[in-house]
Amino acid sequence: FVFTSFAMAFDPRMIVNAAMSTIRSIPYQDQCTPTGPHPVSLITLDEQGFPSARTVVPREIAPDLSFFKLNSRTQTRKVSELQRNDKVTLNFQDQRGRGGWLTLKGTARLAPAPDGSTDILVTVMQLEIVSYTEKAMADSDGWVPAVLRRESGGWIVAT
């Protein structure tokens, strides 16, 4: 990889920090605060294997981006799709400057919430980012994302 920041090539923490800055920049209901909420596209697979995308608002985000807690009514399409296939993608759209995106891939576990709804507990296994503002990408033009993979409880730069 050729990173726009040499140090970023060897420090997954810098990539995670750039990803967190990207998330924090995303407004919700015309407001943008560091603590959120920050909407994200939740992508699941339907019965035919086609992606289904919808916008949701995370209830909890781990500081290292290894875990996201979402919530849904129990009788929704997203819950049905996750019962069949636990693979999930979360995608944040960076609209600052030249733009960019953050994609997190992982698995989801469903758990009943105290109010009768369903918590969607996402364990992130891979992070991909292109951010012109944060200078997080694997090439100088922004066509190749910086990619991290979870291994042994931490992030490593994917090769």
Q: Which pLDDT score is estimated for 159?
A: 66
- Spatial separation of the C-alpha atoms in residues 127 and 154, rounded to whole Å: 12
Mean pLDDT across 133-157 = 91
Please, which residues have CB within 8 angstroms of residue 50's CB and are 6 or more apart in sequence? Answer: none
Give the tens place of pLDDT for each residue, 37-60.
899 999 999 999 999 999 999 999
Q: Is the pLDDT of residue 7 over 70?
A: no
Q: What is the DSSP secondary-structure string of 115-150? A: TSSEEEEEEEEEEEEEETTTTB-SSSSS-S-EEEEE
Mean pLDDT across 5-13 = 65
3 state SS for 83-99:
HHCCEEEEEEEECCCCC
How confident is residue 142, by pLDDT bands cut at 50, 70 and 90?
confident
Q: Which pLDDT score is estimated for 143?
A: 86
Give the tens place of pLDDT for each residue, 62-101.
999 999 999 999 999 999 999 999 999 999 999 898 989 9
Q: Is the pLDDT of residue 1 over 70?
A: no
